[in-house]
Structures are given as C-alpha cells and as structure tokens.
Amino acid sequence: MELRILGCHSATPKPGEFPSSQALSVHNHWLVLDAGEGMQMQLRRYGVKFGRIKHIFITHLHGDHVYGLFGFLSTLRLLDRRTEMHLYGPPPLKRLLDEVFHATQVELTYPLHFHSLDADEPRLILDEKKFTVRSVPLLHRTPTTGFVIREKPAPRKLNPEAIARYPEIGIWAYHNLKDGKDFVRDDGSIIPNEELTLPPPAPRMYAYITDTAFNPAIVPEISGADVLYHEATFAESERHLAEKTGHSTAAQAAEIARMAGVKKLIIGHFSSRYRNLNVLLEEAREIFPETELAHEGKTLIF
C-alpha cells in the first residue's frame, strides 16, 4: 500500500494547508478518501493520475470533506473520461450532486455509480480480487463513516529447493500448493504443504478515521492495522471543544491506537488554532509512541 496525504487540516483555511483528502494505492488501484477543497490540485501536485482513480469514498457531508468533489468530477468530463467511477457516501450526497450538475449544466461523459453508505453499522462496501473496503460508523454531528482497507491473504510461496527433492512434483501441482494443499504422491503418501511452501507476507491494513468523537466501539474494526489515521483536532486543554463539536483530542486518538494494537498512528484534521503542532504530537506520543503528524505531501509505503 502507498498512502499520499493531500490535505489534513480542518475547515478554516490557511495558506499552504488543505482540508481532508487522501489517495491510497492498493495493488495499483488508486482510492481517494474524502475530497476537501483543492483535492484535484493536490492530486496533480503529488503525481496521482486522474485516470487511475476508480473509487472515491466520502466520510460525511461537511464542506471540508466534500467541496473538492464537484470540481474533480467536472474536470473528468473535460478530460473526456469514459471509464466508470464509483462514489461512496451518505445518501444525501447523490441528491446534492444531481442539483450541482443540473444548476451548472454539466453532463458527465462517464458512468458515475453512487453507493449509499449506512452509518449505523459496519459493512463490506467493496470486494476486489486482492483487497476489501469496509465502512465503520463514527460519532460526529452528522452521519459519518470511516473506512478500513484490508488486503486479502496472498497465496503461499513455493519453496523451489524443497520441491526439487521430489521429481514427481510437476508444474501442474504448483497452483494447488500455492492454495495451501498437500501433495499426494503416487503411493498415497502425503507431503505436507508446509514442507514445500513458505508463508506469504501478512495482509496489510489501513484505517481512515475522521471525523469522530472518542469512540472505543471502533476498536474491533481497526484492530491490528499497519497504519491508523485518526483525527486529532484538539489538544487535551480543549477537550471541552472536542466534546461539543464531535471531535477527538490527540490523546484520545492515541488511546484508540493503543487499544487497537495498531503499528503506526498518523494524527491529522488539525484545528487552525495550533501554530505549533508539536503540542498535539507530544500528547499523543505520551500514550502511543509510534505516532507521527500528518502533513500535505506525506507519503507512506507499507
């Protein structure tokens, strides 16, 4: 997986800072997570080709997560896109898009398939050959879902040196061995699969959680993630604002990471009140040392 953070700040604009949007490559499939204002400019800046994007996931309908969507979809029309696009988001998003396109007289040149999200319980929303995407209900002022992208288990790896010891194992048997099956010899004896193959790498997992109040209910859905992106809008000194607005503090994001046993935590969705984000980083690292700050252009390969 390759993650590129396009924007990681909250609603109030500041020079050089962009609202929420990310691009994630999974086995050469580019997914876009949220579409804050300026998203298409950031895609250009950080080298994500528009034509390779087939799926867009919108967490909720606050402007700092969706205002960039309309311009991007319109640009694809100007580029004469013909391949289909899949859009996942809250039910009212479809009506909003229809109104915008009607008012601006935009007729898309490509099929746009809208998938309505249920913010009440986790659901499998995309099932590709090598990965899945699940929605995760969050606690915010409006129906909101996070997203968990998980690789499917890879086939086992052949062990050429071990296989070479058994001349009767031909190429025809390799597919079954990769699938974990034992090899049955002509005399009926069995060569265990573990003797002929090597285990594949562990499936990777990415969790995108924004915007939400502190919500331990999500822990089972994100448990063991290689990377967790969790909003950290406020410091602990402004916890009362977090509770009022349905957001999390950096310490609360770190606590979720600790409870879920993730490998790395990236915090973002920062309030513009913080000129020095290290106050948020230090708070989180006291609880979960493997924490990093998000920033525009940050790239992770895992």
Q: Alpha helices, DSSP H only, in 46-91?
A: 63-78
Where a domain ends, among 198, 229, 253? 198
162 shares a domain with 229: no
71 shares a domain with 142: yes
Where a domain ends, among 139, 165, 198? 198
34 shares a domain with 139: yes
Q: What is the pLDDT of residue 12?
A: 84
81 shares a domain with 21: yes
Tokens encoding 10: 């909250």
20 shares a domain with 133: yes
Evaluate whether 12 touches 299 at the Cβ level (below 8 Å): no
Evaluate whether 261 touches 240 at the Cβ level (below 8 Å): no
- Domain residue limits at 183: 157-198
Evaluate whether 29 touches 128 at the Cβ level (below 8 Å): yes
pTM for the whole structure? 0.93
User: pLDDT (tens digit, 9 = 90+) per residue, 211-231?
Assistant: 999 999 999 999 999 999 999
Domains in the chain: how many in total? Answer: 2
Distance between CA 68 and CA 36 in Å, rounded? 5
Distance between CA 208 and CA 197 in Å, rounded? 34
Evaluate whether 133 touches 126 at the Cβ level (below 8 Å): yes
66 shares a domain with 181: no
Q: Name the residue type at position 34.
A: D
194 shares a domain with 252: no
Distance between CA 53 and CA 270 in Å, rounded? 27
| Other beta carbons less than 10 A from residue 92's beta carbon | 12
Positions of the chain with pLDDT under 50: none
Handedness of CA 253, 91, 49, 24 (dihedral sign): positive
166 shares a domain with 296: no
| Other beta carbons less than 10 A from residue 271's beta carbon | 20
252 shares a domain with 131: yes
150 shares a domain with 120: yes
**H or E stretch including 291?**
strand 291-293
Going by DSSP bridges, is the β-strand pair 21-26/2-7 parallel, antiparallel, or unpaired? Answer: antiparallel
Where a domain ends, among 176, 198, 220? 198
Q: Could you tell me which residues come within 8 angstroms of residue 236 by beta carbon, excluding any fewer than 6 positions away?
A: 249, 250, 251, 283
Catalytic annotation, residues: 64
221 shares a domain with 129: yes
6 shares a domain with 121: yes
Q: Give the domain CATH number at 232.
A: 3.60.15.10
**Cα separations (Å) of 46 from 21, 49, 73, 182, 296?**
12, 9, 18, 46, 9
